[in-house]
Amino acid sequence: MKRVTEITKGVHYVGANDRTTHRFEGLWPLPHGVSYNTYLIEDEKVALVDTIDAGFSERLLANIRGILGDRTVDYLIINHMEPDHSGAIHAVRQAYPGIRIVGNAKTLQMVEGYYGITENTLTVADGDTLQLGKRTLQFHFIPMVHWPETMVTLCAEEGLLFAGDAFGTFGTLDGGVTDVQLDAGCDTSKYWDEMVRYYANIVGKYGVPVQNAIKKLAPVLPLKVVCPTHGPVWTEHFPKVLDLYDRMSRWEPLERGVVIAYGSMYGNTEQTAERIARELAARGVTKIAMHNLTSSHASFVLRDIFKYSAVVLGSPTYNMELFPPVQALVEDIELRCIPSRVFACFGGFTWAGAAVKRLTAFAERAGWDLVAPGVEVKQGCTPANTDSCAILADAIVAKL
């Protein structure tokens, strides 16, 4: 019986699942865990593509030995130096002392900086090739997707691309390895929303480099297999993945819908958020994502901002500024350089209002389409505020 982990003949998955880490990069929650994907190519020469988080080094080595037995590994190809992919370099070198580390000049500088390794390395330039036997590996640089040293490795004979962090997603690989084995093509699969969240939070700022990478890879498309460092190995469903990355890297909304994200200290600003949501629903908007920023992690809010076409932000005035969780979200949005969304805002105050003014200024800085003056509520909500919320909903729907 063929191993589930054999992707194509002689190309194996030797990575591991992480179901215990709570925060990726110390920041992003992992409700479905994450996989660290490493690949092994058997030919006249043997190549390992990327390694793994240091905590999974022994598992990686056991997976390699389970395939190779006593045979050695000749090359370690490093597409990306982030420590969740390079952390096992020392362990791999100890197990295979003759292994030669292959990377570009920036990669090998980082290998020295992180791990103090300078010997038995091979520096490759953009477009260079490495012969393994029947297979030839070719290296294509895609800087800032999402680190400056990032490259991808093409095996043209197999129609296979080792993609580094490109085309990745959060979520463990539960049983299978490829999208078909995991039923990852299903619209309700965890991987699609987690791909948007992964992109929005980790890659989201780098839309222009992602577009450059897609254009650079266009001559080798279509591909039979794409092997990222997180998430499923893409086969049948890679066209959908490529479309998502293309649209997200152009900051194009994926669906018609509205994100309402707000802060509220005593519930009054939240009541305004609820009224706006009701008014939108009454006008036929079915995709409404509500986030109380005191309890919703920013990564899920940013996912929905990349996903939907309109954003409504609300905040009480706090020390004559935005409520701190709202201010943090505004900074997160600006950091990702999202160039446009349909936008509206609302705010509450007791004796002096500043929130709507601050949110309006954000829209102007970001170049977002402010569809109507912000709804400002003094002290408690009243029936009169309903009319303002209705006007705001009309303006949003007109733009959708």
- Listed residue (164, 169, 224) closest to 192, CA to CA: 169
Q: What are phi and psi of 283, to 5 degrees?
A: -100, 10
For the domain with range 255-399, which CATH number is right: 3.30.1330.30, 3.40.50.360, 3.40.50.1370, 1.10.10.10? 3.40.50.360
For residue 325, the model assigns a pLDDT of 97
CA atoms of 352 and 355, how far apart (whole Å) = 10
**Tokens 């030919």 found at:** 43
Instruction: Residue count of the chain, please give it.
Output: 400
Q: What is the mean pLDDT of residues 356-367?
A: 94
pTM as predicted: 0.94
Q: What is the mean pLDDT of residues 12-33?
A: 96
- Give the type of residue at 48: L
Q: What are phi and psi of 137, to 5 degrees?
A: -100, 135
CATH number of 6-249: 3.60.15.10
Question: Which residues are CB-contacts of 251 (< 8 A; sequence separation ≥ 6)?
Answer: 207, 306, 338, 339, 340
Element (H, E) at 317: strand 308-318
Sheet of 6-8: strand order equals: 6-8, 11-13, 39-41, 47-49, 75-77, 100-103, 121-123
CA neighbours within 13 Å on the CB side: how many for 102?
A: 27
Distances (CA, A) of 373 to 57, 314, 350, 363, 370: 56, 13, 19, 11, 8
Residue 377: pLDDT band (50, 70, 90) is: confident
CA atoms of 393 and 400, how far apart (whole Å) = 11
Cα distance between the two ends of the chain: 52
For residue 126, the model assigns a pLDDT of 97
* Sign of the CA dihedral with 192 first, then 195, 200, and 206 last: negative
**Tokens 């090739």 found at:** 129
Quickly count: other Cβ atoms within 10 Å of residue 246's Cβ: 14
Distances (CA, A) of 277 to 261, 272, 338, 392, 400: 11, 9, 23, 10, 15
Residue 268: pLDDT band (50, 70, 90) is: confident
Distances (CA, A) of 327 to 124, 259, 262, 330, 333: 44, 16, 10, 5, 10
Each residue of 177-193: pLDDT tens digit?
A: 999 999 888 877 899 99
- Give the type of residue at 320: M
Domain ranges across the chain = 6-249, 255-399
Q: Are the beta carbons of 242 and 167 closer than 8 angstroms?
A: yes
- Listed residue (294, 339, 335) closest to 316, CA to CA: 294
Distances (CA, A) of 121 to 74, 93, 109, 111, 124: 11, 12, 11, 10, 10
> Is residue 323 over pLDDT 70?
yes
CA atoms of 234 and 148, how far apart (whole Å) = 24
> Is residue 58 over pLDDT 90?
yes
Each residue of 240-257: pLDDT tens digit?
A: 999 999 999 999 999 999
Instruction: Outline where 15-144 has alpha helix (H).
Output: 57-68, 83-86, 89-95, 105-115
For residue 29, the model assigns a pLDDT of 95
Residue 374: pLDDT band (50, 70, 90) is: confident
For residue 163, the model assigns a pLDDT of 96
Query: Which of 161-165, 339-343, 382-386 is the least confident region?
Result: 382-386
CA neighbours within 13 Å on the CB side: how many for 277?
A: 18
For residue 184, the model assigns a pLDDT of 84
* Sign of the CA dihedral with 189 first, then 14, 237, and 154 last: positive
